[in-house]
Amino acid sequence: MGAGFSCAVIGRKLAEANHQVTIVDSRPHVAGNCHTERDSGTDVMVHVYGPHIFHTDDQEVWKYVNRFMPFKPYTNRVKTTSCGQVFSLPINLHTINQFFGKTMRPEEAREFIETQADTSIENPQTFEEQALRFVGKDLYEAFFKGYTQKQWGCHPSELPASILKRLPVRFNYNDNYFFHRYQGMPEHGYTQLVEGILDHPNISVHLNTRFTRDQIDGYDHVFFSGPLDGFFDYELGRLGYRTLDFEKFTYQGDYQGCAVMNYGEEGVPYTRITEHKHFSPWEEHEASTCYKEYSRACGEEDIPYYPVRLVEEKALLADYVAKAREVEKVTFVGRLGTYRYLDMDVTIREALDTARGFLERAANDEPIPAFFVEV
Ligand code: UDP
Cα(146)–Cα(141) distance, integer angstroms: 7
How far does residue 59's CA lie from ligand 1's centre (Å)? 25
- In 117-222, which residue ranges form alpha helices assigned H by DSSP? 127-134, 136-139, 146-152, 161-164, 190-198
Instruction: Report pTM.
Output: 0.97
Residue 174 lies in a domain: no
Residue 324 lies in a domain: yes
Distance between Cα 35 and ligand 1 center (Å)? 21
Question: In a 3-state reduction of DSSP, which class is residue 348?
Answer: helix
In a domain, 244, yes or no: no
Number of domains in the chain: 2
User: In what helix (H) or strand (E) does residue 293 lie, and over which residues does it extend?
Assistant: strand 287-297
Give residue 194's pLDDT.
Answer: 99
Same domain, 340 and 217: yes
Query: Is 197 within the bounds of a domain?
Result: yes
* Ligand 1 pocket test target in 162, 167, 179 with most atoms within 8 Å of CB: 167
In a domain, 81, yes or no: no
- Is residue 126 located within the same domain as residue 211? no
* Residue (of 276, 261, 245) closest to 41 by Cα position: 276
Whether residues 56 and 194 fall in one domain: yes
Residue pair 263/147 in contact (Cβ under 8 Å)? The answer is yes
Cα 31 to ligand 1 centroid, rounded to whole Å:
23
My answer on whether 29 and 157 are in the same domain is no
Same domain, 225 and 322: yes
Query: Residues 233, 331: one domain?
Result: yes
Question: Is the CB–ligand 1 distance for residue 45 below 6 Å?
Answer: no
- 20 close to 201: Cβ distance less than 8 angstroms: no
The answer to whether residue 225 is domain-embedded is yes
Catalytic residues, by residue number, are 166, 170, 242, 272, 293, 341, 343
Between CA 334 and CA 228 the distance in angstroms is 10
- Beta-bridged to residue 251, according to DSSP, are 288
Residues 59 and 206 in one domain: yes
Residues facing residue 289 across a β-bridge: 250
In terms of domains, do 10 and 157 share one? no
Domain-terminating residue out of 166, 197, 226: 166
From ligand 1's centre to the CA of 148, what distance in Å?
Answer: 7
The values of phi and psi at residue 86, to 5°, are -105, 130
CA distance 221 to 358: 10
Tell me which residue range forms the domain holding 107.
93-166
Report which of 198, 196, 98, 87 is spatially closest to residue 147, judged by C-alpha positions: 87
Sign of CA dihedral 227, 228, 232, 237: negative
| Cβ(261) – ligand 1 distance below 6 Å | no
Residue among 258, 373, 259, 334 at smallest CA distance from 7: 334
Domain check: are 58 and 141 in the same one?
Answer: no
For residues 25 and 114, state if they share a domain.
no
Distance, in Å, from the CA atom of 205 to the CA atom of 195, rounded to the nearest integer, reads 10
Atom 2, ligand 1: residue with shortest CA distance: 144
The reply to whether ligand 1 has any atom less than 6 angstroms from the CB of 342 is no
Name residue 305's amino acid.
Y
Q: What is the CATH number of the domain that holds 229?
A: 3.40.50.720
| Pocket residue to mutate for ligand 1, from 127, 128, 143, 164, most atoms within 8 A of Cβ | 164
Last residue of a domain, one of 166, 200, 219: 166
Cα 44 to Cα 280: distance, rounded to the nearest angstrom: 8
Q: Helix, strand, coil: what percent of the chain each, to 5?
A: 35, 20, 40
320 within some domain: yes
Same domain, 43 and 122: no
Residue 140 domain flag:
yes
SS3 201: coil
22's CB contacts (< 8 A; 6+ apart) are 203, 204, 206, 219
Residue in 47, 43, 4, 50 with CA at minimum distance from that of residue 23:
4
**Whole-number Å distance between alpha carbons of 131 and 145:** 9
pLDDT in tens, the chain (375 residues): 999 999 999 999 999 999 999 999 999 999 999 999 999 999 999 999 999 999 999 999 999 999 999 999 999 999 999 999 999 999 999 999 999 999 999 999 999 999 999 999 999 999 999 999 999 999 999 999 999 999 999 999 999 999 999 899 999 999 999 999 999 999 999 999 999 999 999 999 999 999 999 999 999 999 999 999 999 999 999 999 999 999 999 999 999 999 999 999 999 999 999 999 999 999 999 999 999 999 999 999 999 999 998 988 999 999 999 999 999 999 999 999 999 999 999 999 999 999 999 999 999 999 999 999 999
The DSSP bridge partners found for residue 243 are: 296
